[in-house]
């Protein structure tokens, strides 16, 4: 896992990775995982999905959206490569 340099960012990366792992295992279908893999992260046209993620954590002052979605995307891509 390629964690970010600062501890705050790495915490959000890990949280995103764990959330992405759960998403990949329990919610995502093959096409969704393939789209994430092809985009090398959450696809740009998934605005509603991005908004849901942002809305879940926006009230937290330390929230790092970029680190979180990087971890989320990496977890989904790791799972996709494994299947």
Give a yes or no: residue 52 inside a domain: yes
Residues 1-40 pLDDT 10s: 333 444 556 899 999 999 999 999 999 999 999 999 999 9
Give a yes or no: residue 21 inside a domain: yes
Number of domains in the chain: 1
Give a yes or no: residue 77 inside a domain: yes
Give a yes or no: residue 13 inside a domain: yes
Q: Which domain holds residue 15?
A: 7-82
Give a yes or no: residue 20 inside a domain: yes
Give a yes or no: residue 39 inside a domain: yes
pTM confidence score: 0.83
Give a yes or no: residue 69 inside a domain: yes
* The two three-digit tokens of residue 73, written as one number: 């995307």
Share of the chain above pLDDT 90, in %: 71
- SS in 3 state form for 30-57? HHHHHHHHHHCCCCCCCHHHHHHHHHHH
Give a yes or no: residue 58 inside a domain: yes
């Amino acid at each position: 896992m390629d964690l970010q340099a600062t501890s705050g960012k790495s915490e959000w990366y890990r949280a995103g990775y764990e959330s992405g792992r759960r998403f990949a295992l329990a919610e995502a279908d093959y096409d969704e995982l393939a789209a994430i893999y092809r985009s090398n992260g959450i696809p740009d046209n998934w605005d509603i999905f991005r908004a849901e993620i942002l809305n879940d954590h926006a009230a937290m002052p330390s929230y790092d959206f970029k680190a979180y979605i990087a971890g989320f995307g990496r977890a989904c891509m790791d799972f996709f490569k494994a299947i």
